[in-house]
Each structure stands twice: as structure tokens, then as C-alpha cells.
Amino acid sequence: MRRSLVLVLDPIQDLVEYAQKAEAAGFDAVWLTDFNNRSAFVRMAATGQATERIGIGSGIAYAFGRSPVYTASAVADIDEITNGRTVLGLGTGTKRMQESWYSFKFESPAPKAVEVIQILRSLWSAPQGRPFKYEGRFFNIAIDLYLRPGLVRSDIPIYLAGVNRHMLRAAGKVADGLVGHPLYSRRYLAEAVRPAVEEGLNAGKRDRDSFDLAGYVITSISDDPEQAREEARRQIGFYATTRTYDAILDLHGWETEKKGIREAFRSMDFAGMTASVSDDMLDQIAITGTPAQVEKQLAGYQGLLDHVLLYPPSVGVSPDRVKENYKLIMDVFGT
């Protein structure tokens, strides 16, 4: 399995420093995130300019938060800065995020994401100095004279994030890889994710070898194993408040856990949310413990993921502790 790091540090200066450390530790890539207070593309450009070998991915950038034309331009710029080390990971976010945070209409996420990917690839491969036109269900674009000087590649890899079958199938059909959600359990990977991706690959008449099945894995390492487990519980509880991810929880029958987490969340009882995450949830979803313990746990993802995106808990965790966790992850899982 390939190994990468998801970087969630602030300020950007710290992000750059840890991208350089990850490169020195031999990781495949670092993955940067969009959120309501950060831009994945700015962070990708900053880390890409400060590194030489390591891949620079977005995990994720919002597929609908920008015009596809802007996304194509930004990603081509980053690919130029990095001399062809960019991976574009796209995701839709949840309905609440898109409508409440960004004031965008949330509609038909899977087919709309497919259309975005089609536009990006068409723009990167478009003939220079000619009109560009795209007419689709969601987007209609007409550029009188399209030019893209300095384009390094016309085939920049595009990964798609997803939890439900429609998004997972779309990823298999049109994307180069998947960005799996941090709440994925190993059972959900085996019984839901991989079959849906295979459906998409078959529908697109594509080989499995052409697809990188990547996924976030919550990873909490400490010399105090109970501290590591508590931090991972808190991160899991945070994600489990969102109904979008019920498919994962319901597959396992985690109804009691789900009810406890959401009741605690309604009263902003974060300790109660954390306490409601059972040992079964923790052990199915996260890698936790001392350096010796976690090294063995990663083997549980063999045959489920091609590419693990190691992701330290940050909800309610001090910045210094997040950095400590990164250092331990690099010591244990670096080359």
C-alpha cells in the first residue's frame, strides 16, 4: 500500500514545514483540504513550491465551490509549480455545507461531479488558440479563444470522494481514484465501497489497475495508548453527527452509538459525544495506540485500500499534540 499524509496544520508556514518533513520521510504525497476557512489550492501551491518530489493532492477540494473553469486554471497552475506532481481530489461536501456555508444549490451531486470532471479534462486537453465550448445538463461554457500557456500535463489525475453508492460508482466510472472518507470502517470498505467502485469500473469498461483506491485512515499515536484512543473517539464522534454518513453506521448496527452521539451534540456535550463512540467503532474505523501497536494495525487495510491517507485527529486536540502525532506517524510509517 502506498502511504500519504493528510496535513491539517495552521498557519501555512507550519503546513509547509511538515510537507517538507513528509517528503524527507518518504511519503507518497501530502493532501491538503478545502473548508470554510481555508483554500486547498493556495495550500497546495505553497507546499508544492517548497518541495521537490512528493505528490501534492487535494483531499478534498469542493467540486461545486468554484466554476470548473477556475478549478482547471488553478490546478494547471499548481501542476506547473510542482512540475507534474499534482493530484486533484474532488468532493461534493454535504448539502448543509454547500447551502448554508457557501450559498450554492445542492443538486444531483453524482452526475454533476461527473460533468465537472468532463469539463476539466476537456479544458486541459483543448486545442490552443481555438474556441472552447461545453454544453451539459449543469454547465454551459463558451470561451471565444482558449489558451493555456505552460501546461505541464493534459492528464492531471482526478480523484473523487464519496460515501453513498452513487458517488462511489461515479468515481469508478470516470475518476482516476477515490478519496475515501475518514469514517469508513474496514467492513464498509469491503462490503460497500469496493463493490460500488467495481460496478463503476465495469460500467466505464475500465481496468481495476487504472484506479487508485485511496482512503483517509484516522491515525492517533501516543506513548499513552488511552490518550490516542480518546483523541480518535472524539474525531469519530464529530463525523458521526452528520446524517450523510448513516450508511456506514447502519451497516454495523451502531444505532445506540449514533443516538448517543447526536443527543450529546444537540446540547454541545462533546465529552458525551466522545463517550458514545464504542470500542467496536473505534477499532473498525481508526488506527490507535503506541508506535508498536499501530504498526501492526495498518496491515488490516491490506487488500481494502491501495493507498492509505494517514490522518491525525484534530478536533479538540492542541496544535502541539497534532504535530507530535505527525512526527510519530512519520517515525512509524515513513521509509
How far apart are alpha carbons 42 and 286 in whole angstroms? Answer: 29
Q: Identify whether 272 is part of a domain.
A: no
Q: Identify whether 36 is part of a domain.
A: yes
- Check whether the bond before 11 is cis (ω within 30° of 0): yes
Q: What is the CATH number of the domain that holds 125?
A: 3.20.20.30
Q: How many CB atoms lie within 10 A of CB 100?
A: 12
The pLDDT of residue 150: 87
How far apart are alpha carbons 143 and 70 in whole angstroms? Answer: 13
- Where the chain has pLDDT below 70, the residues are none
The pLDDT of residue 276: 98
- Report the amino acid identity of residue 284: Q
How far apart are alpha carbons 260 and 234 in whole angstroms? Answer: 13
Q: Identify whether 177 is part of a domain.
A: yes
Q: How many domains does the chain have?
A: 1
Torsion of CA 197, 203, 204, 207, to 10 degrees: 60
- Give 3-state DSSP helix, strand, coil % of the chain, rounded to 5: 50, 20, 30
How far apart are alpha carbons 85 and 261 in whole angstroms? Answer: 40
Q: Identify whether 266 is part of a domain.
A: no
Residue given cell 463525523 in the structure block? 239
Q: How many CB atoms lie within 10 A of CB 269?
A: 15
How far apart are alpha carbons 335 and 317 in whole angstroms? Answer: 27
Q: Identify whether 9 is part of a domain.
A: yes
How far apart are alpha carbons 294 and 20 in whole angstroms? Answer: 23
- Report the amino acid identity of residue 80: E
DSSP state of 298: G
Beta strands, E only, 59-98: 61-62, 86-91
Domain that holds residue 126: 2-220+290-316
Q: Identify whether 59 is part of a domain.
A: yes
Q: Identify whether 19 is part of a domain.
A: yes
Cell of 210: 487504472
How far apart are alpha carbons 177 and 157 in whole angstroms? Answer: 8
Cell of 64: 461545486
The pLDDT of residue 297: 96
Q: Identify whether 232 is part of a domain.
A: no
